[in-house]
Amino acid sequence: MTAPSSRRGRGAALESEPDIPTDPSLPPVSLTPEQDAKDTRWTALKIAVWIVIALLGGVAWTMLAIVRGETVNAIWFVFAAVCTYLIGYRFYSKVIERYITRPNDKRATPAEVRSDGKDYVPTDRRVLYGHHFAAIAGAGPLVGPVLAAQMGYLPGTIWIIVGVVLAGAVQDYTVLFFSMRRGGRTIGQMARQELGRIGGTAAIVASLLIMLIIVAILALVVVNALGESPWGVFSVSMTIPIALFMGVYLRYLRPGKVTEVSLIGFVLLIAAIIGGGWVASTEWGYAIFHLDREVIAWGIIVYGFIAAILPVWLLLAPRDYLSTFMKIGVIVMLAGAIVLVRPEITVPAITVFGENGLGPVFSGPLFPFLFVTIACGALSGFHALIASGTTPKLVEKERQTRFIGYGGMLMESFVAIMALVAALSIDQGIYFAMNSPAALTGGTVEGAVAFVNSLGLTGAPITPDMLTSTAAAVGEESVVSRTGGAPTLALGLAHIMQQALGGQALMAFWYHFAIMFEALFILTAVDAGTRVARFMLQDSIGAWVPKFRDVSWRPGVWICTAIMVAGWGTILILGVTDPLGGINTFFPLFGIANQLLAAIALAVVLAIVAKRGRAYVKWLWIIGLPLAFAAVVTITASVYKIFSPVPAIGYWANHFKYRAALESGDESLGPVPTVEAVIRNTAVQGTLSIIFVSLAIVVIIAALIVTVKAIRAGGGDDTEDEAVPSRRYAPAGFLPTASERELEKQWEPLLAEERKDLAHRH
């Protein structure tokens, strides 16, 4: 039962939720206002707890931002993050819920109304939280903070923690809620419906193109982590048959035995890591799994196509489920180890590269490039595709969207903070030796030592023995120019974990454990991103060829998947073969594209909220603030990349520099094939930058026009689905309140009967 696209005329906005009569023969489907007030009333104990949280957070921020001695203890990062997240979730997200989204649990969600056992399935909030987190948590929160560490610890820490509370989590929560109210429509479909043909078309085209660069860079991170690493290649490749086995096990061998298969999967993962060390030490294992980066890239391209067309239950679902526990478990374990070990951070609050913007990891001034480099750890446009894709079709009750959307993004931000601390914990010299491209280090220990020692870093100079002993400790041939952030994070995690558990003897295990942990993060995002992009392309082509909108039509699935994989696969190969280091030149474009997509999503939400009526206008700043910041940051970064005359920053400046060298026969920049590759790649990057920012500006302008018109008219067209009374109940948060537990008891006999019927049908 989907409502017409405009049920009410202009001005007939949703000022307040209408009362929805529910079935009197059923227990209540939602708490009464009195019950809710009873559960949330302030007590002396609650006040004391929140005072302690606020004071602890204040002390942590004081130690990080004001005291700032020669070293800073890593424990303050954990306390500052956790306390800020708790305050943001308890108070700021409640403001959004009360004044912007205004959920109504008497209203059935699309998962209940359209329940089909496939796309629309009412899902337990805790399971859905894990599924949503697995889908949104890609390479961004791991890689971006690691690369941004070259600018110092303080700017990145502030943006990751404060940015997520005011921007990233706001976007994820509101997009999820408003997509759910519209039957789970994608952000492109909502843009077309809310902003009109021009703005909607620009949003759809921008989303498709941006998806290509996002997935390509995610894959490039995996390639750089696994290149010439037989241990890593073996361990990560084993996750695929393990996931396939788990899928078959759950579907045919032992249906419903989730805990059982989880334990088996975890044991197999650990065996794959331990076995990888043995396989890599053998002559045959080294010959088979010691692969160069281009071969691994082609393998990921083939994998991406196959994974995106396989049934969800066979590969994606079991690996998502397993990786979610591994992701959250590893991050919590790392946080615990930091509290236990309390490593001292020697990196300055703001480094010389944060001041001059000419760092070897990436080039550009702190504003705006710190923000676009950190990307997903604080604000991610990629999340808008997930929050308006699969997740809104699975939400059981409307009030759960705060826990899933806002809470899920807070967990991703915590991942980013842990990644930043891990990167900061290792020696600065080793950090720059790992993250500087081979064009600067020569790819050798001697070249890396000479280059890093020329940077003028604080602290003792780096020595060849430091690099060779570090590589030996983690079971790798070399750590020089292992760009992409993933190897650096793995080294930092191993450095901290071995102090807490196992000592130096387990350094190699922890390093490759981290590599597998990161690869699970990233490969999940690669195939999930490919699927989402395929759905978007099918929907777009379906406007002209309706058959393509049928997601069960196999030729359409294969054709659209092949197109999207070919698109991001081409960019991936360009990145792998880039002489200047693919991550170092492509990652800023990834960050800009990702943040532009976030600006597009926030622009659509702004228009939707403005159309809801006059009562919402004074709260538009909650959406307008992050939208304005994202727009200024990304447009400024795009201007730098397009127009900067500095070759290290501007794509076109670098393009013309190498082109002039080629035309004059100057080989000082490298041999002809190298120069030609740089010319080709900078042309691609520069062109994409122009396209991305132009489309985003069109969408933002269209949204602002719609918003202004809605404010003047006192509202706009209501495009939500028709309200349908709910016939089920579930708590809103992770832990039910006292009133929610009482209501759950009333529903338990009915839910038991429902489970019995489902089991009988199966």
pLDDT of residue 3: 40
pLDDT of residue 5: 40
What is the predicted pLDDT for the residue at 695?
Answer: 94
pLDDT range class, residue 484, cuts 50, 70, 90:
confident
**What is the predicted pLDDT for the residue at 313?**
66
> pLDDT higher for 208 or 6?
208
For residue range 375-402, what is the model confidence (pLDDT) as tens digits?
Answer: 888 999 989 988 987 889 989 999 999 9
Which of 7-21, 493-507, 568-582 shows the lowest per-residue confidence on average (mean pLDDT)?
7-21
pLDDT at 4 over 70: no
Gap between the Cα atoms of 451 and 360, Å rounded: 10
User: Which pTM value belongs to this model?
Assistant: 0.89
Other residues' Cβ atoms within 10 Å of the Cβ of residue 504: 10
Q: Rounded to whole angstroms, what are the CA distances from 445 to 230, 430, 449, 463?
A: 20, 11, 6, 9
Does residue 2 carry a pLDDT above 60? Answer: no
3-state SS string over 355-381?
Answer: HHCECCCCECCHHHHHHHHHHHHCCCH
173 φ/ψ angles, rounded to the nearest 5 degrees: -65, -50
Q: Which of 491, 583, 568, 514 shows the shortest CA–CA distance to 236?
A: 514
Q: How far apart are CA 699 and CA 306, in angstroms?
A: 34
According to the model, what pLDDT value does residue 226 have? 83
The per-residue pLDDT for range 622-667, each reduced to its tens digit, is 999 999 999 999 999 999 999 999 998 899 999 999 999 999 988 8
What letter represents residue 350's amino acid?
A: I
Task: Please report how many Cα atoms fall inside a 13 Å half-sphere around the Cα of residue 159, on the Cβ side.
Answer: 32
Mean per-residue pLDDT for 336-365?
Answer: 89
| Average pLDDT of the segment spanning 220-228 | 82
> What is the Cα–Cα distance from 81 to 68, expressed in whole angstroms?
17
- When the pLDDT of each residue in the chain is averaged and rounded to a whole number, the result is 87
DSSP state string for 104-166: -TTBPPHHHHS--SSS---B-HHHHHHHHHHHH-SSHHHHHHHHHGGG-SHHHHHHHHHHIII
pLDDT tops 50 at residue 420: yes
| 192-195: Cβ within 8 A, 24+ apart | 193/5, 193/719, 194/604, 194/607, 194/608, 194/611, 194/703, 194/706, 194/719, 195/603, 195/604, 195/607, 195/699, 195/702, 195/703, 195/706
Q: Using an 8 Å Cβ cutoff, are 36 and 739 in contact? A: yes
Look at residue 469 and tell me whether its pLDDT is greater than 90.
yes
Region label for 326, one of left (φ > 0), alpha (ψ between -120 and 50) or beta (otherwise): alpha
How large is the average pLDDT for residues 543-551?
82
Per-residue pLDDT tens for 137-189?
776 788 889 989 999 999 999 999 999 999 999 999 999 999 999 998 889 88
Q: Within 10 Å of residue 421's Cβ, how many Cβ atoms?
A: 27
For the segment 698-715, what is each residue's pLDDT rounded down to a tens digit?
999 999 999 999 999 998
Q: Is the peptide bond before 546 cis (omega within 30 degrees of 0)?
A: no
Is it the case that residue 6 has pLDDT exceeding 70?
no
Least confident of 252-266, 309-323, 669-683: 309-323
What is 525-562 written as a DSSP string? HHHHHHHHHHHHHHHHHTTTSGGGG-TT-HHHHHHHHH
Confidence of residue 740 (pLDDT cuts 50, 70, 90): very high
% of the chain beyond a pLDDT of 70: 94
Q: What is the pLDDT of residue 1?
A: 37
Residue 131 has pLDDT above 50, yes or no: yes
- pLDDT for the residue 166: 97
Least-confidence region, from 43-52, 70-79, 244-253, 254-263: 254-263
Most trustworthy range by pLDDT among 327-336, 415-424, 547-556: 415-424
Instruction: Please check whether residue 280 is in contact with residue 234, taking contact to mean a CB–CB distance below 8 angstroms.
Output: yes
Q: According to the model, what pLDDT value does residue 482 have? A: 85
Residue 546 has pLDDT above 70, yes or no: yes
Task: Output phi, psi for 580, to 5 deg.
Answer: -90, 5
Q: What confidence score (pLDDT) does residue 317 get?
A: 66
- CA 674, CA 670: separation in Å to the nearest integer? 6
Residues 712, 718, 723, 728: is their CA dihedral positive or negative?
A: negative
Say yes or no to pLDDT of 13 above 70. no
Greater pLDDT, 536 or 107: 107
Residue located via tokens 């949703």: 14
In this predicted structure, the answer to whether residue 277 has a pLDDT above a threshold of 90 is no
Cβ-contact 755, 41 below 8 angstroms: no
> In this predicted model, what pLDDT tens digit does every residue of 36-87 receive, in sequence order?
888 889 999 999 999 999 999 999 999 999 987 778 999 999 999 999 999 9
Structure tokens of 573? Answer: 């190969």
Q: Nearest 5°: phi and psi at 72?
A: -135, 135
The percentage of the chain sitting over the pLDDT mark of 90, rounded to a whole number, equals 46
**Residues found in the chain:** 762
Q: Is the pLDDT of residue 307 over 90?
A: no
Q: Which of 257-266, 413-422, 471-480, 748-757 has the lowest mean pLDDT?
A: 748-757
Domains of the chain: 43-228+292-713 (1.20.1740.10)
Distances (CA, A) of 486 to 70, 217, 275, 426, 519: 27, 12, 21, 14, 9
Alpha-carbon distances, residue 459 vs 2, 427, 706 (angstroms): 64, 9, 55
Here the tokens at position 42 are: 């302030």
Terminal-residue alpha carbon distance, the chain: 26
